[in-house]
Amino acid sequence: MKPIVGFVYDLKKDYLDEGFSKEDVAEFDSEETIGALHNTIEQLGYTVERIGNCKALAKALVAGKRWDMVFNIAESFGGRCRESYVPALLDMYDIPYTFSDAMVCALTLDKSMAKRIVAQAGLPTPAFKVVRKPQDIDEVSLQYPLFAKPLDEGTGKGITQDSKIDTPQQLKKVCLDLLSAYNHPVLVEEYLPGREFTVGVLGNDKDIRAIGGMEIKMLAANEPAIYSFTNKDEYEKRVTYSRLTEPKLKQEIESLAVECYKALECRDSSRVDIRCDRNGRACFIEINPLAGLHPVHSDICIIARNEGISYEQLIGQILKNAFARTNAGACK
């Protein structure tokens, strides 16, 4: 009998139909992504049951539904713990699931908490300050230029060409705008002027490895090299991705990504964002334990494809990692 994989996700269209904005649902998935994952998991030999979002999962659990594994890509709505809702529910009912647990999903969404763990592990990350209220702005004593973004958003939300800050006056304006727009704290960190990369990491325990990395470059030479919400949304005409091949740099970038993944206790797979400082040293920026999985456009899928790993192989390995970690029976 085929193992049954429940599928938990947030579908953009469902929320747009309820009146949410395009930016509100930027982290959620299209039917194209949901369909691709559903079909791929079935092709791998599993039976897929679509569950839907976190609230649909809660209803199904109360109704007595159970699965051999849950493939979870739901990021949910709410505060900085929103990505932990699905893992916490599944832990409560002792149902295994893909990717990181509730603690890691909550901790990594709060970028300052992730940076604290990484720094404590002795890994490089830029100095930072959290602005929780307007009065905190005057307490920022970092070296300019600075970079400001919402503390617990993803997909470049809240990041614009104004995010790079050169003066205290700019800092005040940007922080006040972000506090007002998102009603969440703002992360202010020292700006890294070097090259930017993102790395895909797979595995657990002794099998953790980087599958590859790629450099992110802006096409417009007259714009700051900022991977903003707009640049991500319109990446086909604004951004180029290049496979990371320089041996020494590749080793440094991928090694840092793996060490950050380990320090933060991620599971199965994650994507790590890294940027170089003015001396060319690679530094941790943030990590995504629920990386996007659109077969064509998502960063980790592009990385895999560049390294000769098919979409089916990538999803299959994620599932095998999860089944092995939980001692459940994966398909061969």
Report the distance separating Cα 104 and Cα 109, nearest Å.
8
What would you report as the CA-atom Rg of the chain, rounded to the nearest whole angstrom?
Answer: 20
* Residue pLDDT, tens place only, 120-151: 999 999 999 999 999 999 999 999 999 999 99
Round to whole Å and give the CA distance between 269 and 196. 20
Distance between CA atoms of residues 151 and 9, nearest Å: 23
Of these ranges, 21-25, 209-213, 230-234, the one predicted with the greatest mean pLDDT is 209-213
Q: Which residues, including other chains, have CB under 8 Å from residue 181's CB and lie 6 or more apart?
A: 158
Mean pLDDT of 290-312: 96
Identify the weakest region by mean pLDDT among 105-109, 214-218, 306-310. 214-218
DSSP letter assigned to residue 3? P
| Domain span holding position 91 | 4-108
Q: Do 153 and 252 share a domain, yes or no?
A: no
SS3 49: strand
Number of domains in the chain: 3
154 Cβ contact partners less than 8 Å away, ≥ 6 residues apart: 26, 27, 75, 109, 288
Output the pLDDT for position 153: 86
Decide the pairing of beta strands 4-8 and 47-52. parallel
Judge whether residue 234 has pLDDT over 70.
no
The rounded distance, in Å, linking the Cα atoms of 115 and 128 is 9
Least confident window among 152-161, 193-202, 256-265: 152-161
Last residue of a domain, one of 141, 163, 190: 190
Predicted pLDDT of residue 222: 47
With respect to residue 121, please indicate whether it lies within any of the assigned structural domains.
no
Report DSSP letters for 195-261, one per residue.
Answer: -EEEEEEE-SGGG-EEEEEEEEEES-TTS-----HHHHHTHHHHEEEEE---HHHHHHHHHHHHHHH
Residue 290: the pLDDT is: 96
**Is there a single domain that holds both residue 280 and residue 309?**
yes
Average pLDDT of the chain? 92
Residue 300 domain-assigned? yes
Q: Residue 289's pLDDT band (boundaries 50, 70, 90)?
A: very high
